[in-house]
Amino acid sequence: MDWTLIFSEDIEIMIIRLVMAALLGGLVGLEREYNHHPAGFRTHLLVSVGSCLMMLLAFYGFQDYIAANEGNVNFDPSRLAAYVVSGIGFLGAGTILVQGSSVKGLTTAASIWVVAGIGLTVGAGLYGPALIATSIVIVSLFILAKVNFRISGDEQQERVMIVADPSGNSLREIIEVFDEKHVAVKQFTSEKQRAYQEKMMIEYQLIVEYKQLSDLHEAMEKIQQSDLIHTVTVKF
């Protein structure tokens, strides 16, 4: 085997770009991992590296073929990038969860899509735009997520803690009740199972938005009536 064919003069550039794509994608994935979203550190890192690899393939993978057929080949490297952008939509769609009028996972799907763009940008050698885009995404996920933007001042938010039996589909029932009572579930997280009165339970923490306090109280009372629910409390 001719090792000079493997370790060509372009290999250093390729390694630098792949490593940089891994670092930038991993940084975005850290926030998703920290907040327990379906696609976390590894997913974002792999998407970024894979996108970068496809871009490197477009630039370097067909040079011998183009040289051998000079004048007879109409080659456009951007076509591979276009397929990556369209194909990544299938992966992002897997993170989106629709429950009634509530849609979850859109931010994670968007972060996967933008990480693919960052990987392609690094693969094309545009380090500056990739760094700037990563910085914007990190600021958006870490900082802007803590800022509550409201167009209307009528809605109020509360954090509701619900301890439920993990044996049934309690989360679906909870969201359906909130939706029925016109209470929007803006965000939810689930903790690991814990022992309550010698029985393993799962704890949900939901951020809900409502216009009338009576709607929230009615929803909580109806949720409490379920045999799967242990406690329902507003967490201040």
Q: Considering its fold, how many domains does the chain have in total? A: 2
pLDDT more than 90, % of the chain: 17
CA distance 140 to 69: 47
| Cut 0.85: pTM above it | no
Give counts: helices (H), strands (E), the chain. 9, 7
* 164-215 per-position pLDDT tens digit: 887 777 777 888 888 888 888 877 777 766 656 567 788 888 888 888 888 8
CB 207 within 8 A of CB 149: no
Q: Are 28 and 129 members of one domain?
A: yes
CA distance 31 to 145: 11
Q: Are 127 and 220 members of one domain?
A: no
Q: Are 104 and 49 members of one domain?
A: yes
Domain contains 48: yes
CB 202 within 8 A of CB 228: no
Q: Are 85 and 120 members of one domain?
A: yes
Q: Are 136 and 162 members of one domain?
A: no
| Structural domain range at position 181 | 156-235
Q: At 46, which helix (H) or strand (E)?
A: helix 41-60
Q: Are 17 and 81 members of one domain?
A: yes
CA distance 24 to 134: 6
Q: Where residue 220 sits, what CATH number does that domain have?
A: 3.30.70.260
Q: Are 20 and 121 members of one domain?
A: yes
